[in-house]
Structure 1
Amino acid sequence: MVGTIERIWRYPIKSIGGELLDEVAVDARGLAGDRLYAVRDAQGKFGSGKNTRRFRRMPGLLQLQSRYPGGTATEVPELLAPDGEPVPDPTSYVRHYLDRNDVEVAREGAISHFDQLPLSVLTTATLDWVRAAVPGVPVDERRFRPNLLVRTPPGTPPFVEDEWFGRTARIGDVLCIRFQRSSERCVMINEAQQDLPHSPLILRVIAQAHDMRLDALATVAQPGCVQLGDTVELT
């Protein structure tokens, strides 16, 4: 056993703040409803903190939050303004918020909203290392947008996730995931969001210590359910 599930995060709308869950179903696509919607412009590029072939920089999206009413992904997600209040029309709000008329909150179509693999897993050992490396800068897992934060035993080294690549883990009684590789981080982790201020130090220390990589990305080997307190056991 390498740890237990400390927190579960789902992000109904890509590049926007997510919601904490007590439990959720997981299938081949990942957490039910995760990143099922995105802010998209007329060229089909997704709202983000950077400009690339796939993304369009749209500053301020991380100040917003999203959630599914009632906690199930069977409905259209709610978009929450910076003050935490749900807005009546997500697309209209985002157009006004970004001062752009060419964007919409759209459901996933033929092009996947995932940047890489369905699941991102981060350990408290690695998160604690980041905190110690940037004293004075508020850091929690929201900067790295994992789906699962795993509480590791005392003494676990940072970046222990690297040792899991190529391994399968059972989470709880049924769910099995296969660890593949880590995420290459970008300026998104420096961005301000809600009560976390902007800081360029975070990406800098990860670049210096770990080649800009942090977390473990995984595919789903056997669908199931994950809930808080589940054990994570390498098999």
Structure 2
Amino acid sequence: MSSVVMLRRYPLKSAQGEALTAVAVEPTGLRGDRTWACIDRLDGTVGSAKHPRRWGRLCDVAATTHVVGAETTVTLDVDGTSLRAGSAAADAALSRHLGRPVRLSRELPPDARLHRTLPDEVGMVPDWMSGTRPGQETITTIAGAERVGRFVDFGAVHIVTTGALDLLGERIGGASVAAARFRPNLVIDAPGDPEPGQELRLGDVVLRVALPTPRCVIPGLPQAGLPADRSVLSALARHYRIPVAGLGHAACFGTYADVVQPGRLNLGQRVR
């Protein structure tokens, strides 16, 4: 039987995640996941490492959640200094670190948008962005902002399986591929990804798979102690281009899921 072998949340969009042993799953996802984001003070866009030149250094920032009674705070580690998210000091430190004026926010901007740089690999450009070309910089809306109400790209929960990671490693040439490259909430010990529409029962939590996850440049970036690896994007472009929910083809890896029934989720939880 399958089980949860990795459980992670990302308090600040595109910053490092935190490993968990247990977490409350709410209707909009893991409690505390992607509830904060950097907002560019110049154009109001949301900071995302999908545009590495602007925002890639967010991957160097650690974010940790602290719960004391009913109060939840997030502490950031920026260049070795610990700062509370939402403070003027944190905004100033992040602005220096990123080289652009930013503010931290838990409020979703109207029509939330982000800058992105498309991967150089031809197969990584999804069909619904057919007017763009590999390597091009563009601005897109964040579908998950309106759909889920957080700074997520689409679904409330992002899932990767060990079987899919193993197969990707074989296709790269036998190398091990770290799950962290894909920034999942859950890694499930299973031979392959669940199908759209399938429900996963994890104790009292029920998730419904929405669609496969279209990939951007982030899996190939240096992050959380991992070096840059262009071979991951090349393999995704060659082997993982599939149809997505009537929108056309895209290079996908992992799945997005919505929360059907919230509850408590523990590392090691059996999945059926």
Distance 2:12 2:267 in 1: 22
- Could you tell me how far 1:82 is from its partner in structure 2? 5.4
> Quick one: percent identity of the two aligned structures?
30
Please tell me whether residue 108 in structure 1 is matched to residue 107 in structure 2. yes
- Residue of structure 2 in register with 1:16 after alignment: 15
Deviations 1:33-72 (A, max 9, x none): 1000001112221112234xxx983121111111102498
Residue 118 in structure 1 maps to residue 149 in structure 2:
no
Cα gap change, 1:93 to 1:175, in 2 (>3 Å)? same
Q: Please tell me whether the aligned partners of residues 67 and 73 of structure 2 are also in contact (alpha carbons under 8 angstroms).
A: no
Corresponding letter in the other structure for 2:199: T
CA distance in 1, matches of 2:36, 2:57: 17
RMSD: 2.3
1:86 aligns with 2:82: yes
Partner of 1:217: 256
189, 198, 201: which one aligns with 2:219: 189
Asked whether the 8 Å contact 1:33–1:73 carries over to 2, the reply is no
Match of 1:145 in 2: 183
Structure-1 residue corresponding to 2:198: 167
CA distance in 1: counterparts of 2:174 and 2:58, whole angstroms: 24
Unaligned runs of 5+ in 2: 113-144, 146-150, 242-250
1:177 aligns with 2:233: no
Structure 1 unaligned residues grouped into runs of 5+: none
* Letter of the structure 1 residue corresponding to residue 97 of structure 2: Y
Amino acid at match of 1:190: G
Alignment check: 8 A CA contact 1:119 1:219 kept: yes
Q: Which residue of 2 aligns with 1:61?
A: 58
**Is the CA contact (8 Å cut-off) linking 1:137 and 1:199 kept in structure 2?**
no
Which residue type is aligned with residue 179 of structure 2?
Answer: E
Per the TM alignment, residue 131 of structure 1 is displaced from its structure 2 partner at its CA by 2.8
| Conserved? CA contact 1:66–1:77, under 8 Å | yes
Contact 1:46 1:56 (8 Å CA) reproduced: no
**What TM-score results when the alignment is normalised by the length of structure 1?**
0.85
Specify the SS of the correspondent of 1:127. Answer: helix
Measure, in 2, the Cα distance between the counterparts of 1:223 and 1:26. 5
Aligned position for 2:266: 227
For these two proteins, the number of residue pairs brought into alignment is: 219
TM-fit CA distance, 1:179: 0.6
- The DSSP-based 3-state class of the residue aligned with 1:14 is coil
The alignment partner of 2:253 has SS state of coil
Deviation at 1:135, TM superposition (A): 4.7
Larger relative CO (CA 8 A, sep 6+): 1 or 2?
A: 1
Length-normalised TM-score, structure 2: 0.74
1:147 Cα deviation from its structure 2 partner: 0.4
Give the structure 1 partner of residue 138 of structure 2: none
